[in-house]
Amino acid sequence: MKKLLVMSMIACMAFSMTACGSKEEAPAQAPAEEGAEAPAEETPAPAEDGAEDAAAPASGDKTWIIAMDTVFRPFEFTDENGDFVGIDVDVMKAVAEDQGFNYEIQSLGWDAAVAAVQAGQADGLIAGASITDERKASGWIFSEGYYNATQTFVFPEGTDVSGLDDPFEYLKGKNVAVKNGTAGADFANSLKDEYGFTVTVFEDSPTMYQDVILGNSAACVEDTPIMADSIKVGNLALEIPEGMESDGAPYGFAIMNEANQELLDMFNAGLANIRENGTYDQIIAKYLGE
Ligand code: GLN
């Protein structure tokens, strides 16, 4: 466990300095023992719950390390009781119970979670990760999709683009906030030359939203269901305009290392079962009221 923390910390530093906030003092080449004293927040307390709550595995069974985002509601977020909850958290738990495997959640943030799986320090990723051809081509192996989502541009509340033929014209000469390494960032980057806007990259969703609310950026790009829920729950002064969405893609659980195919197979089998027995619908209803 300690070794794992160190390894994921190093991976995190190697791939994404800014995502690692408080870890910058930890020496990258620390021997395991020293490194093990690194900040405890690397593995948030709520993660323990997920592991304990998972189906009782035979002792000696492998504990799969599952990397997740930090704030991506309603798929993952910390609730008012300080518990790490969300659709991804509940789906993972239900699948693990169904399949009888043990797991531990590491809530690392989007690009740190991606980096942890790429570096082999986490076995799988569940973080509202869009299944894209580019990601598959770069070595990601996805489960069946478990939720469809588009990406959308998002404006400050009251932004009026009604006089424009094309709402994207509003962005000419302005800045758009995106989250590092996301499908939303790809969507913005694919349009910036055509519409003449610049792009600024943020490490997490809440900071990106704030940049728009504070007026530093004219818009941000976020997954549509995430933005809708975050506006509603956080009472954010933001709005989702019409007609500025990507084609979208399903979210999938993902691995990179083919040696973890067993985990992916269990995820797919468990997902099929929880769709069949109604658990999946209950989870969606619990968080989205759908
Ligand atoms: N669905 C988006 C993607 O896959 C964003 C994921 C996230 O920010 N957690 O890139």
Q: What is the pLDDT of residues 9-37, one digit of tens each?
A: 444 443 333 333 333 333 334 344 443 44
Q: What is the mean pLDDT of residues 168-182?
A: 98
Residue 11: what pLDDT? 42
Q: Does residue 179's CB lie within 6 angstroms of at least one atom of ligand 1?
A: yes
Tell the residue nearest (CA) to atom 5 of ligand 1.
182
Q: Would you place residue 86 in the very low, low, confident or very high pLDDT band (cuts 50, 70, 90)?
A: very high
Residue 120: is its pLDDT beyond 60? yes
% of the chain with per-residue pLDDT over 90: 78
The atom of ligand 1 lying closest to the CA of 186 is 10
Q: Would you place residue 206 in the very low, low, confident or very high pLDDT band (cuts 50, 70, 90)?
A: very high
The atom of ligand 1 lying closest to the CA of 149 is 1
Q: Does residue 129's CB lie within 6 angstroms of at least one atom of ligand 1?
A: yes
Amino acid at 162: S
CA 129 to ligand 1 center in whole angstroms? 5
Paired residues of 84 in beta bridges: 78
pLDDT tens column, 229-276: 999 999 999 999 999 999 999 999 999 999 999 999 999 999 999 999
Q: Give the residue carrying structure tokens 């658990």.
A: 279
The atom of ligand 1 lying closest to the CA of 179 is 8
Residue 126: what pLDDT? 98
Pocket test for ligand 1, best of 66, 179, 187 (most atoms within 8 A of CB): 179
Q: Would you place residue 41 in the very low, low, confident or very high pLDDT band (cuts 50, 70, 90)?
A: very low
Q: Please tell me the number of Cα atoms within 13 Å of 104 on its side-chain side.
A: 15
Pocket test for ligand 1, best of 88, 226, 229, 230 (most atoms within 8 A of CB): 226
Q: What is the mean pLDDT of residues 157-179?
A: 96
Residue 186: is its pLDDT beyond 60? yes
Tell the residue nearest (CA) to atom 10 of ligand 1.
182
The atom of ligand 1 lying closest to the CA of 249 is 1
Q: What is the mean pLDDT of residues 44-58?
A: 47
Q: How many C-beta atoms surround the C-beta of residue 156 within 10 A?
A: 17
Which residues, including other chains, have CB under 8 Å from residue 187's CB and lie 6 or more apart? Answer: 151, 221, 246
Residue 290: what pLDDT? 65
Residue 64: is its pLDDT beyond 80? yes
Amino acid at 174: K
CA 113 to ligand 1 center in whole angstroms? 11
Helices and strands (H and E) in the chain: how many: 11, 12
Q: Does residue 69's CB lie within 6 angstroms of at least one atom of ligand 1?
A: yes
Q: Does residue 127's CB lie within 6 angstroms of at least one atom of ligand 1?
A: yes
Q: Does residue 72's CB lie within 6 angstroms of at least one atom of ligand 1?
A: yes
Pocket test for ligand 1, best of 89, 130, 154 (most atoms within 8 A of CB): 130
Residue 61: what pLDDT? 82
Mark out the alpha helices in the chain (DSSP H runs): 2-15, 32-35, 46-53, 87-99, 110-118, 133-137, 183-195, 205-213, 224-234, 261-276, 279-288
Q: How confident is the prediction for the chain on average, in pLDDT? A: 86
Q: Does residue 128's CB lie within 6 angstroms of at least one atom of ligand 1?
A: yes
CA 227 to ligand 1 center in whole angstroms? 12
